[in-house]
Structure 1
Amino acid sequence: MSDVRVHGTVEPGFESVREVFAEVAANEARDGGAQLAVHHRGRLVVDLWGGDGVDGDSLLGLYSCSKGAMALVTALLVQEGALDLDREVSSWWPEFAAEGKGRITLRQLLAHRSGVIGADGGLSPEELADDRLIAARLAGQRPYWEPDAGHGYHAVVIGALVGEVVLRATGRTVQDLYEERVRAPYGIEYHLGLPEELEPRFRTALPMLPTPAEQAFLAENPIAPDSLMAIAFNFHAATPLDLVDYANSRAVRERAPLSGGGVGSARGLSRMYAAFAGELDGRPPLLAPETLAEFARIHSKGTDLVTGMENAFALGLVPLAIRYPSLSAAAVGHSGAPGSQAFADPATGLAYGYARRRFAFAGGPGAAENTRLVPAVVEAAAKAV
């Protein structure tokens, strides 16, 4: 049995999820805290938290989960005809055509195929906190591989690139569109720009506490400063990216760079995906099934040129049945650096949000506890049908 007290509620039939959360999630994150929220067919059926340092209302830095919000807003604009996936980025943003980037399409950009993964010499902390500054640097940047010749995770820049396209095409930022059309109308506790008055609810991100074996692995596998990995994660800069300091920066929380600056809770993540993928509060889904299916379709698969790992990307989103086989092929979402995970599975009516405060070892694709939590949620939902 767990020695960590679990708080919150589950609907009848989801008691097993609470048990698994107590066994793995709350214990794994006990010195930082964790949250889990699940919507099923528009109802909040799981709302749990445990460990030290967080409650159900705590707001956490959720890092790359903001890429999911960016992609969903982009999908909404494509659905409405404001954007065309197969149009060249430079048709909206002429400066981007420099250095052989003129034929890169929005589709290729969203699929992490542009090769524009960072900036020569790196980005400063001030630039990392401001998408417009990143976009200005990258407009004249050469790609690090031939565009569309392969894929690699555009870790800290894809939000700025896509966000600049949205701004040029609509005159509005993704952050403003998300606030006006998604967050405010649905009361979603996930923010692309944390208001000052909510700062007291923010809980600072905490660094990883690796085991001796994990420390040895990190020491034996350093990231080469001239590697694509170093460039994509801005580790080659004069001031290398410090992921913990990133979320703990008020400038990042205020401006919400779309590659990783969103702040919220597990409830917020789950509710956001529930609004896009299914009926919520008596309203139809924000995305038509065919739009969501197109953004969930795998566009890149194989060896990632940045990470060297086998992975896959849809359009700004990540197909998740590969990582969690209990999900349907339609399941799509995005994880965040500390181990957070969020997705919608429209085939089963599930929307899922998991958040943790302290970084997990190798948590980028979703902390290890998600591999037990997700199947528990899927099994409980199937029995609730």
Structure 2
Amino acid sequence: MTDVDVHGTVEPGFESVREVFAEIAADEARDGGAQLAVHHHGRLVVDLWGGDGVDGDSLLALYSSAKGVTALVVALLVQEGALELDREVASWWPEFAAEGKGGVTLRALLAHRAGSIGVDGGFTLDELADDRVVAARLAAHRPYWEPDSGHGYHSLAFGALVGEVVLRATGRTVQELFEERVRAPYALDYYLGLPEELEPRFRTALPMQPTPAQQAFLAENPLKPDSLTAIAFNAHAESPFDLVAYGNSRTVRAKSPLSGGGVGTARGLSRLYAAVAGELDGRPPLLTPETLAEFARAHSQGTDLVTGGKNAFGLGFVPLATRHPSLSPLAVGHSGAPGTQSFADAATGLAYSYARRRFGFMSGPGAPENDRLIPAVVEAAAAL
């Protein structure tokens, strides 16, 4: 253990959250620094940070948080009638019908049921930075399982596929719609496409530091290159794929591929989800109760064909109560590769974002420290 100064503020009643965060920040495995922000009924009640080179304004690579933000934009379009969940993807994007994918609906795509998780031979880093290139290759490629027969995490494909549908249907990119309709109006410190003038605030993502026991585990359990896991995470690519280098690429940050190119602060992402959880700045919630309920409902549940683990997906969002029982069935959000986690819970008015700089060992969908932080936040809010 090592002492780490914890900075920031908590409102009265949330002191216990600061205590838990301080314990986590003191763990030297977290020495890359972390941020925690919580909104309650639109008010910022927790704003904490600690660790090497990270303050409350540090911009971090938040990876798959972009999937949740993409889901929010799609939900707005569905809510307004610009997109239809049960319409075939190929009706907007004819090329996608190739190789037996003609019956895939937008609903199936959002629920990770399309089977289009990658391509033979994988992608280069430059390709993965460009959603249009990825989408074109995926459209021409066969799915890796019968569409809608099961679900599997479309790790590096989800954003390109969904983004192409939005572009074909509206003539606008998800990035443009997010900027105009969500980020700018709410002054969010979260970006799908990081402006170059904000680059000095970016803190590079740091690689995992496994213990000897963890190194031994990795050596004894190598990833098979022909597995669905390897294909979905581009580990079968001809040039080795480095997820840390992906997050640290200026090209990725500038173009913001929607599967993993989100950049921001915990404060910015918590504020974004506060606009989903309830009123914010005098504005009504972004999503109606009916839209939120439909996007929060588990559409895929059980064994994931890609990861082999048990999980659940709503429509783009992850139904967080399936992972964190202290949350309500309306809790929606998404994790990010280093172990970050963010969500909105409209039943309690809570919005939460934990962001970390260093990758955790097999942190999966949200680092284990979220298992301590989230119940502390829920308990503190309930006591008020």
Instruction: Give the TM interval when normalised to the shorter protein.
Output: over 0.9
Q: Which amino acid aligns with 1:249?
A: S
Secondary structure of 1:321's aligned partner: helix
Q: Extract unaligned runs of 5+ from structure 1.
A: none
1:24 to 1:66, Cα distance in 2 relative to 1, 3 A: same
How many residues are paired up? 384
Determine the structure 2 residue equivalent to 1:70. Answer: 70
Counterparts of 1:146-185 in structure 2, within 5 Å, are: 146-185=146-185
Determine the structure 2 residue equivalent to 1:134. Answer: 134
The yes-or-no answer on 1:227 pairing with 2:227 is yes
1:313 to 1:30, Cα distance in 2 relative to 1, 3 A: closer
Distance, in Å, in 2 between the alignment partners of 1:25 and 1:348 is 27
1:28 to 1:276, Cα distance in 2 relative to 1, 3 A: farther
Distance, in Å, in 2 between the alignment partners of 1:376 and 1:214 is 29
Determine the structure 1 residue equivalent to 2:39. Answer: 39
Determine the structure 1 residue equivalent to 2:271. Answer: 271
Counterparts of 1:334-349 in structure 2, within 5 Å, are: 334-349=334-349
1:2 to 1:282, Cα distance in 2 relative to 1, 3 A: farther
Deviation at residue 240 of structure 1 after TM alignment:
2.8
Determine the structure 1 residue equivalent to 2:57. Answer: 57
Determine the structure 1 residue equivalent to 2:91. Answer: 91
1:143 to 1:272, Cα distance in 2 relative to 1, 3 A: same
Equivalent pair of 1:25/1:369 in contact (CA under 8 Å): no
The yes-or-no answer on 1:383 pairing with 2:383 is yes
Equivalent pair of 2:3/2:26 in contact (CA under 8 Å): no
Secondary structure of 1:8's aligned partner: strand
Counterparts of 1:211-226 in structure 2, within 5 Å, are: 211-226=211-226
Distance, in Å, in 1 between the alignment partners of 2:157 and 2:177 is 19
Q: Which amino acid aligns with 1:338?
A: P
Q: Extract unaligned runs of 5+ from structure 2.
A: none
Distance, in Å, in 1 between the alignment partners of 2:4 and 2:124 is 40
Distance, in Å, in 2 between the alignment partners of 1:178 and 1:284 is 17
Deviation at residue 162 of structure 1 after TM alignment:
0.2
Determine the structure 1 residue equivalent to 2:113. Answer: 113
1:296 to 1:370, Cα distance in 2 relative to 1, 3 A: same
Deviation at residue 27 of structure 1 after TM alignment:
2.8
Determine the structure 2 residue equivalent to 1:309. Answer: 309
Determine the structure 2 residue equivalent to 1:186. Answer: 186
Q: Which amino acid aligns with 1:35?
A: Q
Distance, in Å, in 2 between the alignment partners of 1:327 and 1:211 is 32
Equivalent pair of 2:339/2:365 in contact (CA under 8 Å): yes
Equivalent pair of 2:35/2:56 in contact (CA under 8 Å): yes
Deviation at residue 139 of structure 1 after TM alignment:
1.1
Runs of 4+ in 1 over 3 A off after TM superposition: none
Deviation at residue 35 of structure 1 after TM alignment:
0.1
Deviation at residue 277 of structure 1 after TM alignment:
2.6
Query: What do residues 61-113 of structure 1 show as CA deviations (whole Å, max 9, x unaligned)?
Result: 00001000000110000000000000000000000000000000000000000
Secondary structure of 2:321's aligned partner: coil
Secondary structure of 2:348's aligned partner: coil
Secondary structure of 1:235's aligned partner: coil
Equivalent pair of 2:276/2:346 in contact (CA under 8 Å): no
Determine the structure 2 residue equivalent to 1:254. Answer: 254
Query: What do residues 112-145 of structure 1 show as CA deviations (whole Å, max 9, x unaligned)?
Result: 0000000111111111001001011111110000
Equivalent pair of 2:30/2:358 in contact (CA under 8 Å): no
Equivalent pair of 1:2/1:22 in contact (CA under 8 Å): no
Equivalent pair of 1:116/1:143 in contact (CA under 8 Å): yes
Deviation at residue 275 of structure 1 after TM alignment:
1.1
Q: Which amino acid aligns with 1:351?
A: A
| TM-score (norm. length: structure 1) | 0.98
Deviation at residue 276 of structure 1 after TM alignment:
2.2
Deviation at residue 28 of structure 1 after TM alignment:
5.3
